[in-house]
Amino acid sequence: MDEGLLRYPDVLAYLRHLARDPAFGRVQYVTDLGGTLRAAVVGRGRARLAIVEALGFVPQEFDVVLVVGPERSLAAALGRMPAHRAHALALPTSPPRLRRAIDEALLAVEAILQSRVADQLVEVGLALNRERDPRRVLELIVRHARAITGADAGSIYVVEEDGTKLRFRVAHNDSVAADLRDHTLSVSDASVVGACVLSGQIINLEDMYSETGRTALGRTFAHDRSFDERFGYQTRSLLTVPMRAPEGQVIGAVQLINAKDGRHPLAWPADFGRRTRPFSATDERVCLALATQGAVALENANLYAEVQALFEGFVRASVTAIEQRDPTTSGHSQRVADLTVALAKAVDRSDGPLAAVKFSSDDLREIEVAGLLHDFGKVGVREHVLVKAKKLFDWELTLVEERLDHLRTAARLRLAERELVALTTGTIDLEAARRAFTAELLQIERWREVVRRANEPALLPEAVEAEIHEVAAARSQTPDKVLRILDDAHLTALRIARGSLTEDERSEVQNHVRHTFEFLRQIPWGQRLRRVPEIAGMHHEYMDGSGYPRGAAAAAIPIQARMMTVADIFDALTAADRPYKKAVPVPLALDILHAEARAGKLDPVVLEVFVGARVFDRIDLSGGRK
């Protein structure tokens, strides 16, 4: 091999000579269907150098290409190559010069790969910093670790159950499809990953099918081939790296399988011996850097998930507290949240006047939380007012009933006195007295029925209102005082034209919106949920300024609150769980909403989307609500 290399076949022959030295690297030859050599690829670590003939065949996968041929052909050949990835060597040349050209080209490959790895590590760091989903963090680690090291497969085990178990959380494999997400291992020396977690050290095994290739940390690891046999796979090279949290504890392990040449799957048994290689020291460092980044990101993601769970628990507990104070509206907060979010999604898809309104996932979450907590201020309303089902409180009605009972008892006593006088003196017409007593009892029972009818929260008929004044005017004389059937407060309540609340009580209940805003604004919601108090605190504001508590003008009412107003009124109308009214059928409820829009209270455009998208179909309207 001391002669000059005149032609490309001479170059290929010299490569066979160089390949005898393991330190030189791996040489793969590319042939055509007839077996003729077309090109060669030298692999050293992760570097792949294609050595091709000028104007000849070029393999698909390489990092840098070394073009050899007559000087007159090189310029044209280099013109077809990526400038930063092509080297040239004119023929004829000497073997030492070819060897030096190959070494220099491989050094260039290493520089390219190092730069690529640095870029990827920066990219990974940025991606992990943005990611909040623990599973996606693990997916990112595996994907980038495999891309950088050229691994055919990769997986992550996470320590669980107080450090006694390892759960197979994420797995990627180019060559086989297997779902092992529920697979668990004990944290012990019996497995490679268990030993890695216990020792906290990198375990790099060159070839699991060779006894010497399975030796690390002063021991030879057993190889359970059940997975390989089941899927027709061969686990050759194996790199396992601990994931160490900032506090020092190992929280999992990254395991990479079969560093390989090329990106194609290992499709044939021969590929596992021909295309796989051991993981290098560089691979170890890179994977350790990724695992460390991943451990920090995973800890942050888990902490974020815990905070989210804590926040979710607070919100749910708040809704529970609200509904326990007013059990008759149980489920209302969730339904309003669901309706408003569904309406927001419909608005996001709509065209026309609202085409420019778009809601991100954070915006939808903000709307959902505001919907869940829109009645939070009810905790500041007296409970007996909050749950008042009829115009008189139960104890007030009981008092009125007792007064009517007293009138009936007094009438009986008077009749008894007259009967006694009639028996002893005969001066009283007993039959007339008895007729008067019967008439008096009928009057008392008629008054009782009037009070009961007036006590209902339905629309008060004029005739009943007139009769209520008659009851209020009635008096009962006792030896020491005059008793009224109805006090002034009773009369005021029973004369309520619609509903069950007096003006003072209605004002108190309406103040729950003010309480909602005041309570919620004390909470540090952060940037993503900063408008929750505003949205929740304006769901009773109307477009014409007649709403409460602020009487805000239309321009001051955010669209999120306008949507919630529609959802809140619709649910209040159609709810079947209110003791003071019957559920309104959906068509009638929509007619009422349209009337409110025509009156200037509701946003007609928002209502149009609500009806057109049939947003109300998104919630359960069973239980007599349709």
* pLDDT of 2 over the 60 cut: no
pLDDT at 3 (0 to 100): 56
Q: Which helix or strand (DSSP H or E) is residue 570 part of?
A: helix 559-574
Share of residues in the chain with pLDDT > 70 (%): 94
What amino acid occupies position 74? L
Number of alpha carbons in the 13 Å side-chain half-sphere of residue 175 = 26
Q: Tell me the per-residue pLDDT of 384-441, one tens digit each, with 9 for 90 and over.
A: 766 677 888 888 889 988 888 888 888 888 888 888 887 788 777 888 888 888 998 9
Three-state SS string over 6-75 comes to CCHHHHHHHHHHHCCCCCCCEEEEEECCCCCEEEEEEEECCEEEEEEECCCCCCCCCCEEEEEEEHHHHH
State whether residue 223 is helix, strand or coil.
Answer: coil
Within 10 A of 92 (CB to CB), how many other CB atoms are there?
Answer: 14
1 near 10, Cβ under 8 Å?
no
State the average pLDDT for the chain. Answer: 85
Which single residue is written with the structure tokens 């006593």? Answer: 413
DSSP 357: -
The separation between CA 304 and the C-alpha centre of its own chain, rounded to angstroms, equals 12
> What pLDDT was estimated at residue 620?
67
Write the pLDDT tens digit of every residue in 10-34.
998 899 888 888 888 888 888 877 7
At 450, list the tokens: 């009037």
Mean pLDDT of 326-350: 88
Q: Output the six-digit token pair for 202.
A: 């990198």
Residue 128 predicted with pLDDT over 80: no
Give this prediction's pTM. Answer: 0.60
pLDDT at 599: 94
SS3 280: coil
The predicted pLDDT at position 415 comes to: 85
Give SS3 for 216: strand
State mean pLDDT over 82-96.
85
Q: Is the pLDDT of residue 230 over 90?
A: no
> Which of 500, 404, 158, 433 is CA-nearest to residue 298?
158
Mean pLDDT of 368-377: 88
By the 8 A CB rule, do 238 and 284 touch?
Answer: no
Which carries the bigger pLDDT value, residue 624 or residue 379?
Answer: 379
Long-range residue pairs from 396-402, CB within 8 A, at least 24 positions apart, any chain: 396/489, 396/490, 396/493, 397/451, 397/455, 400/451, 400/485, 400/486, 400/490, 401/448
- Give residue 196's pLDDT: 93
Phi then psi for residue 13, to 5 deg, are: -65, -40
